[in-house]
Amino acid sequence: MWDKIEHNGYEVWVLPILAFGPRAPTTLWHYSAYICRHNADAHVAGQSIRFEELAATFRSEEEAREAGYVEGKRRVDMIPVGGWAASGG
């Protein structure tokens, strides 16, 4: 299920995803995520910035979710004052 936090005027949405592949001793996880402004229609082009981590694996759903939040906050912090439109995004 998608979960959201707010950071510096943006929403960071993260979806932990079960990692499928070779057998592992424990269940592994990835994540898919996006950042957007409050009340944006994230499915409309230009309204969100999407990212994911599908190479690294995390040991729990919560670990994957937290990694997505950390990356989302890092990306929000890189957005120039005035929003990503100011940077061409």
> Which tens digit of pLDDT belongs to each residue from 29-86?
999 999 999 888 888 888 999 999 999 999 999 999 999 999 999 999 999 877 665 4
Residue 12: in which H helix or E strand, if any? strand 10-18
Rg of the chain's alpha carbons, rounded to an integer? Answer: 14
Q: Average pLDDT for residues 1-13, to the nearest whole number? A: 94
Q: How many CB atoms lie within 10 A of CB 84?
A: 19
Q: Kindly give, in sequence order, each residue whose CB lies less than 8 Å from that of residue 26, ignoring residues fewer than 6 positions away.
A: 59
